[in-house]
Amino acid sequence: MADTPKKSTQSPTKKLKKQTTSPFSVSATPQTPQTLDPPRRFSPRLSLKPNTPQEPVSPIEKTTKDSLKTPPNKLAEAPPESRAVSSKTRRNLSNNELKKTPRGEKDNGCSKTPKSKAEVLDVEFSPVSPDQSETKKRRRGEEKEKERTVMTRAMASKKKAAKTDKMSGKKRVYYKKVVYDGGEFEVGDDVYVKRREDANSDDEIPELEECRVCFKAGKAVMVECDDCLGGFHLKCLKPPLKTVPEGDWICGFCEARKLGREVQLPRPPPGKKLARTLRDKLLSSDLWAAHIESIWKEADGSYWFRGQWYTIPEETSAGRQPHNLRRELYQTNDFADIEMESIIRHCYVMNPKEYAKAHDEGDDIFMCEYEYDIQWHSFKRLADIDNGEEEGDDSDIDEDWKSSKDAESDTDEDVEYEDEKVKNLQSTASSAHELAANSRKGKFFGLQKIGTKRIPEHVRCHKQTELEKAKAALVLAKLPKSLPCRNKEMEEISAFVKGAICDNQCLGRCLYIHGVPGTGKTMSVLAVMRNLKSEVDAGSIRPYCFVDVNGLKLASPENIYRVIYEALTGHRVSWKKALHLLNERFSEGKRNGKEDDRPCILLIDELDLLVTRNQSVLYNILDWPTKPHSKLIVIGTLSLSLSLPEYLYMGIANTMDLPEKLLPRISSRMGIQRVCFGPYNYQQLQEIISSRLKGIDAFEKQAIEFASRKVAAISGDARRALEICRRAAEIADYHIKKLSSNHNPAPEGKGLVGMSEVEAAIHEMFQAPHIQVMRSCSKLSKIFLAAMVYELYKTGMAETSFEKLAMTVSCICTSNAEAFPGWDILLKVGCMLGESRIILCEPGARHSLQKLQLNFPSDDVSFALKDSKEIPWLAKYL
Amino acid sequence: MGIENLAEKAQILMRSRLCSPNFIFKPLSDSSDSNYSKLKFIISSSIIEACNNSILLLGPRGSGKVAVLELVLSDLLEEYPDTITVIRLNGLLHSEDNSALKEIARQLCMEHHLLFSKMASFDDNSQFMIAMLRECGLAHKTVIFALDEFDLFAQGKQRLLYSLLDAMQTVTSQAVVVGVSCRLDADQLLEKRVRSRFSHRKLLFLPPSKEDVQRLLEHILSLPMDSSLACDYAAEFNEKLQSILADKRFKEIISNYLNSNSTTNHLLRFLFIAISNMELKSGFLSLENFKAALSSIQRQPKQECIKDCSILELYILVCMKRLEVREQNSYNFSSVMQEYKSVHDSFPTSDYYAQNVCLRAFEHLLQRELICFTDNRGHSQSIEFRQVKLVVSYAELQEGLKSYRSCPVSHSHNSICF
């Protein structure tokens, strides 16, 4: 982000909430009752116009009661062994099953087993366990009962909800968690939603999935086919399986169908219909799934929620794509207000990471990696998957931020939704009112247009080789889980930050971190802040706000005021106004709200960019911490201590001597505290690289050592070391792929990145390619260069004029029976060399007055030209 | 069809070949050592593996850096339709950060059919760029920034490069920066923070070797046997061409031409002239065409300038030279006039011109850049008093005088005696 620094506002309300275990934000805001849109669905296939079901349906009630479940992550902790045995519960309907990894599977659209058409099995049924090379275990058994841990909290919330209900009277009341019909629904949950009222009338929801062969549910372990998602008892298979196979497993029917044979599925025993689970219904678009965005109670007492729809691949414009998994859903950007009545029960939509880990968590798990834009019919990866993985608390921040805003006004959000809808309508209706994408008043417009029409296949179905894995691990962008070799510095920083925050004395302080690029300065600070954030969440530290500015991304140094102010308050003002307001806030101690009282940590990257002529920016920024603090300390009352602002500044700059460069009045404010990030030595670099490559067998050990030694000797820049290794892996990969594309048998054991690749990468990175260019340049250029060297030795002067040089060249040419090309051509040759910066020269318009100088040592030229086959006599002059 | 008609067709075909980089560089791109396949591998692997990369293409002008890049890009656009957005910038046009960012925003808007606003500020544009990079990354779209004249971007504070390369340090973005520069030390120009974020892939483009030139000539000049051109004509044409290509004199011409500059582009320029010289009547290329092309392309502009000078202008040049020989390093028009007078006194001729005439001749020489002012200072001074210097060298002047047909005796005498 160029100018909007990342903000991590920590709402104190949240902490409070945690301590008192009140599970929802009690915020009743007046709201004019608005007409509700009927749940909107986008699919053109919809034949029935859905409307909100009004009457309570009894089967649903039953199931909602029954299907109360804990969130999946709780279940994940349960040891798998214990699961198959204990099956006491009637409530839990779904079977356990192992999940496939999101990559890997490629199903060719083999649709679900036709249930009604199943005929008598007259062919010997033998689902063979397919002999796939990489098979994974999957198992289907009874889910263990391990829930009900949250019951008390739910009850509490129910009670609380009732209370607020009375309080709010006729207004809409928003809840975070609601117990409805015995099911506990929280904002952020995923649920099945009835598609039409009579959805449940035709058949009831089966309690347990039944085996496709014996049509009994039973407690025995079942295995799920990756293709048709049908369940099979291990013992019902032919030949029976002892254990759940590793990897993908496809049942015999699908196997046969793939081979093109007619398959007849076992027919259920007479009088028994093959029941369809909710999952079946959802995937055959008889049901919907939605993500709960907010829950509220209308004035008339009915409970509603705003849901974000999920859609199945078949309902998108692209249809089911070959790489789609059976259990894949897309999140849409379509919202609807739905009555709680129409919820059937929970389902669990996970991101690919969780999904890959989820082994046996029931039937109601789905995988969602992409968002589907219903207007533009395009796909986009869900952003929070990456973020959530990289910085575990990003989502927390968001939630915090939102909840603290929610406290102010709930209406705002709703209005915003409305706005959005209106805007969407507008943009589709008339493009005349479209807003420019790149100018923004708080946000950009039209970015939702970007998205792929189809998800490219190479993204999902690509099996990574070891080398590719290594390359991916070495990418700079990838933040490592841990930061090796910077523990001492991080401790120092975190001690400093904590010291400044935790002091009730409100000490504004400066910390000055310096070190060469690529030594992990920013990363360490951010890591420290992350750790602190978790401590804040745990309640051991008071909340603070953190503003992150990068000097190099500011259009001008003065802009920093604006950026800081925007980060703190969210308002965009001119920098002069911002300076004024910040001055008010920091030096005069004027506070507007409670939020302002928090200590503020300002991280300024590339501090040296803020140095202006009179250094007023730096002065102001470094002056603020000293001011309010001295003032408030004089007052020194403990009760005020909470509201004492504490400003903490950290400048990060690559120039070591920044304090010395500054005017004395600034350097005196800068304080003495410095942390130095020295360049990494080779052991550290080696550790950094190996920690990234853990578990990937792609590099020879000496190769890593060689790269790290080389980088340590030159700069100690970790980015360089990583890049060298990545490049080396790339070179190796290139060679292997080229070999295999030429149908040569790839030499075995050559998969490792060795010394030669690393050397090539180092050479590419650090060596200027001038010698190669000199070797391959034209004949006259070579003579020209040789003449320059000759001239240099003759006169001892580095600089020469074109006139003198041309004389030398003509001498050389005549004495070696070479035609002198003429002055003008020679001048052109010189200018060409000057363009490549092999020589330094003045513009060619100076002609004979032009001054020339070699840009590289004359030894390099001699080395390059000595053994040229074209003009062997050139060696004489070198 | 008459032979002229055929010849014209052949000429058009060959010319159009010369003008399309695709045709020129395609055959050179098959081997695994070629820059084409290396570049394509780097870019396509960063598309597939969704990672960020930055590459520098270095090499002398005319060696086909941009042509190969465009070739790779067009191939990739075919291979991965609508997952690639190419942003093209040129250092000569967009070296200023503000305008460069605006241009990036404009092209991004164009590509994605968004509305672009000219009024957006630097901050807006840079945030828009980062937001777009993120969105494109999420949609599995790769943004390729092709920065021509990369060295010109590496001036000043390099905010553009920094924000570009820093945006590429996040997982969600998916971008490739390709810098094209003829400066071999282009990566050394980067500021240390920028350099640290640059991934330092370098591809070096070198002029073709002798064998490659030979192959290239054949590739460009030989006519296809299966096209609309008559088969027998094409066969005859190719046969004649082979004999020319094998001719020793032809090889001499080519090597003479490539002596000064052996890049591909330079060769193509030569071939273009040669083909344009082709006689339509005979319908075939001949050695004469190439010879004529060589002489028309290898010219000595300064010497020709001297040849075009008037007698008076030559006088002035010679006088200036005499002054310089006497190691009088700073002189102006007045001292040249004195010299002119003294020369005229010692070798009286019929043509002696007044000072204002001489001044006119002097100005003319200035305009033709045969002489120049020593420095840029003193713009307020009149021309007579500003210091001047001779731009052509003595040897060139001497050469010019020698070949001057109607040169007066005194002149040649003059010029020989110093």
Q: Tell me the pLDDT tens digit for each residue of A297-340.
A: 887 878 888 888 888 887 777 777 777 777 788 888 888 888 88
- Count of domains in chain A? 4
* Residue A655 shares a structural domain with residue A800: no
Using one digit for the tens of pLDDT, what is the confidence trace for A675-732?
A: 777 788 888 888 888 888 888 888 888 888 998 998 888 888 888 888 889 899 888 8
- How much is the ipTM here? 0.90
* Residue A699 shares a structural domain with residue A688: yes
Residues A151, A231 contacting (CB under 8 angstroms): no
Look up residue A267 and give its amino acid: R
Last residue of a domain, one of A384, A413, A440: A384
Judge whether A805 lies within some domain: yes
**A218 pLDDT exceeds 50?**
yes
What is A98-125 written as a DSSP string? PPPPTTT-------PPPSTT-----SPP
Chain A contact set for B298 (CB, 8 A)? 822, 825
More confident residue, A590 or A774: A774
Residues B102, A435 contacting (CB under 8 angstroms): no
For chain A, the first-to-last Cα distance in angstroms comes to 54
**B144 pLDDT exceeds 90?**
yes
Using one digit for the tens of pLDDT, what is the confidence trace for B152-177?
A: 998 887 888 888 888 887 777 888 99
**A44 pLDDT exceeds 50?**
no
More confident residue, A374 or B143: B143
Using one digit for the tens of pLDDT, what is the confidence trace for A109-149?
A: 333 333 333 333 333 334 444 443 333 333 333 333 333 33
Kindly state whether B325 is in contact with chain A, defined as any CB-CB distance less than 8 angstroms. no
Residue in this structure with the two tokens 């997952």, named with its chain if needed: B83
Please give the pLDDT value at position A481: 67
Q: What is the CATH number of the domain that holds A248?
A: 2.30.30
Count Cβ atoms below 10 Å from residue B365 Cβ, excluding itself.
25
Most confident of the ranges A411-415, A535-539, B352-356: B352-356
* Residue A375 shares a structural domain with residue A281: yes
Using one digit for the tens of pLDDT, what is the confidence trace for A327-378?
A: 788 888 888 888 887 888 888 888 777 777 766 666 777 888 787 877 777 7
* Residue A222 shares a structural domain with residue A269: yes
Judge whether A694 lies within some domain: yes
Closest CA to A733 of A716, A750, A718: A750
Q: Do B139 and A379 touch (CB under 8 A)?
A: yes
pTM for the model stands at 0.75
Chain B contact set for A518 (CB, 8 A)? 196
Q: Do B204 and A769 touch (CB under 8 A)?
A: yes
Closest CA to A512 of A675, A657, A646, A678: A675
Residues B69-79 have a mean pLDDT of: 91
Please give the pLDDT value at position A96: 39
Q: Exposure string (b/e) for A54-80, b if CB count within 10 Å is 16 or more? A: eeebeebeebbebbbbbebeebeebeb
**B259 pLDDT exceeds 80?**
yes
Please give the pLDDT value at position B89: 93
User: For A626, what's the count of Cα atoms within 13 Å in the CB-facing half-sphere?
Assistant: 12
Using one digit for the tens of pLDDT, what is the confidence trace for B198-235?
A: 888 889 998 888 888 888 888 888 888 776 777 888 88
Most confident of the ranges A20-34, A154-168, A788-802, B321-335: A788-802
Residue A659 and residue B187: Cα distance in Å, rounded? 29
Please give the pLDDT value at position B272: 92
Count Cβ atoms below 10 Å from residue A848 Cβ, excluding itself.
22
Domain topology for B31-204: Rossmann fold (3.40.50)
Residues B59, B110 contacting (CB under 8 angstroms): no
SS (H, E, C) B143-209: EEEEEECHHHHCCCCCHHHHHHHHHCCCCCCCEEEEEEECCCCHHHHCCHHHHHHCCCEEEECCCCC
> Please, where in chain B does CATH 3.40.50.300 lie?
31-204
The whole-chain average pLDDT of chain A stands at 66
Residues A447, B132 contacting (CB under 8 angstroms): yes
Chain B contact set for A846 (CB, 8 A)? 372, 391
Chain B contact set for A823 (CB, 8 A)? 300, 302-303, 393, 395-396
* Residue A737 shares a structural domain with residue A828: no
Give the gyration radius of chain B's Cα atoms: 29
Closest CA to A94 of A83, A105, A78: A83
Q: How confident is the model at residue A387 (pLDDT cuts 50, 70, 90)?
A: very low
Pairing type for strands B371-373 and B142-148 reads unpaired
Query: What residues are paired with A211 via a beta bridge?
Result: A231
User: For A622, what's the count of Cα atoms within 13 Å in the CB-facing half-sphere?
Assistant: 26
Q: What tokens appear for A384 in the block? A: 């929070």
> Please, where in chain B does CATH 1.10.10.10 lie?
303-403
* Residue A706 shares a structural domain with residue A611: no
Among chain A residues, CA nearest to B388? A849
Using one digit for the tens of pLDDT, what is the confidence trace for A87-99?
A: 333 333 333 333 3
Last residue of a domain, one of A384, A400, A418: A384
Please give the pLDDT value at position A18: 37
Give the gyration radius of chain A's Cα atoms: 35
Closest CA to A201 of A147, A281, A136, A255: A281
* Residue A666 shares a structural domain with residue A735: no
Kindly state whether B413 is in contact with chain A, defined as any CB-CB distance less than 8 angstroms. no
Residues B130-145 have a mean pLDDT of: 86
Q: Do B260 and A778 touch (CB under 8 A)?
A: yes
What is A478-546 written as a DSSP string? SPPSS-TT-HHHHHHHHHHHHHHHH-TT---EEEEEEE-TTSSHHHHHHHHHHHHHHHHHHTSS---EE
Look up residue B176 and give its amino acid: V
Residue in this structure with the two tokens 């009730």, named with its chain if needed: A504
Where in the sequence is the domain holding A316, given as residue range(s)?
178-196+208-384
Chain A contact set for B171 (CB, 8 A)? 386, 390, 475, 477-479
Please give the pLDDT value at position A207: 53
* Residue A668 shares a structural domain with residue A590: yes
Q: Of chain B residues 149-208, which have a CB less than 8 A from chain A?
A: 157, 159, 162-163, 166, 168-173, 182-185, 188, 192-193, 195-197, 199-202, 204, 206-207
Residue A41 and residue A288: Cα distance in Å, rounded? 10
Q: Do A553 and B159 touch (CB under 8 A)?
A: yes
Please give the pLDDT value at position A556: 81
**A33 pLDDT exceeds 60?**
no
Please give the pLDDT value at position A654: 42
Closest CA to A585 of A600, A603, A607: A600
Q: Is A547 helix (H, G, I), strand (E, B) or coil?
A: strand
DSSP letter for A340, please.
G
More confident residue, B53 or B346: B53
More confident residue, A715 or A168: A715
Residues B319-344 have a mean pLDDT of: 84
Chain A contact set for B50 (CB, 8 A)? 459
Q: Do B115 and A437 touch (CB under 8 A)?
A: yes
Reported residue count of chain B is 418
Please give the pLDDT value at position A575: 85
H-run or E-run covering A647: strand A647-653
Please give the pLDDT value at position A395: 35
**A805 pLDDT exceeds 50?**
yes
* Residue A282 shares a structural domain with residue A190: yes
Q: How confident is the model at residue A508 (pLDDT cuts 50, 70, 90)?
A: low
More confident residue, A645 or B12: B12
Please give the pLDDT value at position A92: 36
Last residue of a domain, one of A330, A362, A384: A384
Peptide bond into A239 cis (omega under 30): yes
Residues A260-265 have a mean pLDDT of: 66
Of A204-218, A422-436, A524-538, A855-869, minimum mean pLDDT range:
A422-436
* Residue A290 shares a structural domain with residue A376: yes
Judge whether A16 lies within some domain: no
Please give the pLDDT value at position A671: 52
**A270 pLDDT exceeds 90?**
no
Residues A308, A291 contacting (CB under 8 angstroms): yes
Closest CA to A699 of B54, A483, A708: A708
Count Cβ atoms below 10 Å from residue A519 Cβ, excluding itself.
27
Chain A contact set for B154 (CB, 8 A)? none
Count Cβ atoms below 10 Å from residue A588 Cβ, excluding itself.
11
Residue range B303-403, CATH number: 1.10.10.10
Judge whether A288 lies within some domain: yes
More confident residue, B43 or A519: B43
Residues A153-171 have a mean pLDDT of: 44
Q: What is the CATH number of the domain that holds A790?
A: 1.10.10.10
Q: Which spans in B277-382 are helix H?
A: 287-297, 301-307, 311-325, 333-346, 355-367
* Residue A774 shares a structural domain with residue A713: no
Please give the pLDDT value at position B107: 92
Q: How confident is the model at residue B146 (pLDDT cuts 50, 70, 90)?
A: very high
Using one digit for the tens of pLDDT, what is the confidence trace for A587-630?
A: 766 665 555 566 777 777 777 776 666 667 777 777 776 665 43
Q: Exposure string (b/e) for A720-759, b if CB count within 10 Å is 16 or more? A: bbbbbbbbbbbbbbbbbbbeeeeeeeeeeeeebbeeebbb
Please give the pLDDT value at position B148: 93
Q: Do B120 and A719 touch (CB under 8 A)?
A: no
* Residue A242 shares a structural domain with residue A349: yes
Residues A524-533 have a mean pLDDT of: 81
Look up residue A695 and give its amino acid: G
Residues A277, A207 contacting (CB under 8 angstroms): no
